[in-house]
A and B are shown apart, each in its own frame.
Chain A
């Protein structure tokens, strides 16, 4: 039965608008054509209206009944046409809405919003089972980015509107808590799959280019943000410089620790290669080394969070707000860059 079948169409409209009360219950649409035929061809004494003796009373009565029935049919047909018109209008506006939504989605993607998918969903854990810890993280990360974007927009408006320090503090604290949230999420994800976190698999390609132990490098970020939060007092300038130095030193220490870990891992995988029966012990020590990776990722995140906290301590509330805004926008632009890059027109091979 095709959708253009009139019976089908009639029942469709009936389906859609019963609840609107447009249909009068006493006139079932689908029976309409039949009733029309009946009223014309049938012997009036069969009593469509169930009153055969009425025919005997008045000569005009059957004609009146027929007239009434015709009028009712006309009315029903009119209502049916109106319903059809309303239904088509609804379809048209839905189509427009869909087009609008698609455009918004594309725009949002270009602005760097995280819109699910686009990730290699190959998180097979041991025995090929899907790693639920990672899928949870990815879902939550999508929400995190959307909330981040919302907070950035709010902060931008607030700064442009020159709101007071008290209100600004609330926004700043909110953003700092939001960052604390991502670090908590990463910690849980690292326990589920440390390699996933180490490789920054949830990040866009441009963000991954700057990866250092599963995230951004704090000292680099200070160099980028520093000029954007001028003017600073001399003391602030000195404090930020010192913070940058400390970050750099801590990063170097952790990086060297990571190098040592890689060395140990390589050695334990290679050890005993020519000795039969020693496979398992070597793998055990290799597994222990991988456990240590989790602590490194946690330490790196601890450094990131610590840097943010120190910055908010050194800066005034207004400077801290501008700093957090600059930080958020920086990552938005990186994400947008990834999107632009992957969508760039390519020469045909």
Chain B
């Protein structure tokens, strides 16, 4: 879906969430702890939300939300992000996007 791909490439770190989703909230907290300010799109407040949800699943995301994109590329949902972080890869990937403190 164009909208999803477009939004995903707009910034370095993009997360698609739902406002009621607490796991999405947790993933966002994690990125903040790593010094990154992701762009968050709440698809339940988007008129095309249902289309976006389907598109995210089609792109291969294990759960529609949270869907994390880094550098325009789909990294996955909570499971994948956690695994990437434990292996140390996430920090590496986020280096270019970390806010200068």
Q: Is the CB of A253 within 8 A of B26?
A: yes
Q: Is A176 on the interface with B (CB-CB < 8 A)?
A: no
Interface size class on chain B is 20 to 34
The B-contacting residues of A in range 274-302, CB under 8 angstroms, are 288, 292, 295-296, 299, 302
8 Å CB contact of B82 from A252, A261, A303: A303
A216 to B100, CA, bound (A): 35
Q: Is A158 on the interface with B (CB-CB < 8 A)?
A: no
Among the listed stretches A89-97, A104-112, A167-175, A240-248, which one makes contact with chain B, having 4 or more residues with CB under 8 Å of it? A240-248
6 A-B pairs whose Cβ atoms sit less than 8 Å apart in the complex: A249-B33, A253-B27, A257-B22, A296-B22, A299-B82, A303-B82
Q: Is A307 on the interface with B (CB-CB < 8 A)?
A: yes
Most buried by B among A246, A306, A310: A246
How many A residues, CB 8 Å from partner?
27
Q: Is the CB of B22 within 8 A of A264?
A: yes
A288 to B22, CA, bound (A): 11
Task: Name the prevailing secondary structure of the B interface residues.
Answer: helix
Q: Is the CB of B86 within 8 A of A303?
A: yes
The A-contacting residues of B in range 70-84, CB under 8 angstroms, are 78-79, 82-83
Q: Is the CB of B22 within 8 A of A261?
A: yes
Report chain A residues within 8 Å CB of B82: 250, 299, 302-303, 306
Q: Is the CB of B21 within 8 A of A249?
A: no
Q: Is A22 on the interface with B (CB-CB < 8 A)?
A: no
Q: Is B95 on the interface with A (CB-CB < 8 A)?
A: no
With A295-B23, A306-B83 as contacts: A252 and B88 at CB distance below 8 Å = no
A-side residues, CB < 8 A to B, are 239, 242-243, 246-247, 249-250, 252-254, 256-258, 260-261, 264, 288, 292, 295-296, 299, 302-303, 306-307, 309-310
Report chain B residues within 8 Å CB of A302: 79, 82-83
8 Å CB contact of A256 from B25, B34, B90, B91: B25
Q: When A and B form their complex, which 5 residue pairs have the shortest distance between CB atoms, in order from nearest?
A: A257-B26, A253-B30, A261-B22, A253-B29, A306-B86
- Taking the closest CB of chain A, its distance from the CB of B7, in whole angstroms, is 23
The A-contacting residues of B in range 44-101, CB under 8 angstroms, are 78-79, 82-83, 85-88, 90-91
Q: Is the CB of B30 within 8 A of A260?
A: no
Residue of A with least CB distance to B87: A310
List 13 other contacts, CB 8 Å, given A257-B22, A257-B23: A246-B88, A249-B30, A250-B30, A250-B85, A252-B33, A253-B26, A253-B30, A258-B26, A260-B25, A295-B23, A302-B82, A302-B83, A309-B86
A261 to B85, CA, bound (A): 23
Most buried by A among B25, B86, B87: B86
Q: Is the CB of A254 within 8 A of B26?
A: yes
A288 to B34, CA, bound (A): 30
Report chain B residues within 8 Å CB of A253: 26-27, 29-30, 33
Q: Is the CB of A250 within 8 A of B21?
A: no
Q: Is the CB of B86 within 8 A of A296?
A: no
Residue of B with least CB distance to A295: B23
With A295-B23, A302-B79 as contacts: A246 and B33 at CB distance below 8 Å = no
With A260-B22, A295-B23 as contacts: A252 and B83 at CB distance below 8 Å = no
Q: Is the CB of A264 within 8 A of B20?
A: yes
Residue of B with least CB distance to A252: B33
- Taking the closest CB of chain A, its distance from the CB of B80, in whole angstroms, is 10
Most buried by A among B33, B78, B88, B91: B78
Report chain B residues within 8 Å CB of A239: 88
Report chain B residues within 8 Å CB of A242: 88
Residue of B with least CB distance to A239: B88
Report chain A residues within 8 Å CB of B23: 257, 292, 295-296, 299
Q: Is the CB of A257 within 8 A of B25?
A: yes
A96 to B79, CA, bound (A): 55
- Taking the closest CB of chain A, its distance from the CB of B12, in whole angstroms, is 19
A249 to B33, CA, bound (A): 7
A261 to B78, CA, bound (A): 16
Report chain B residues within 8 Å CB of A257: 22-23, 25-26, 29
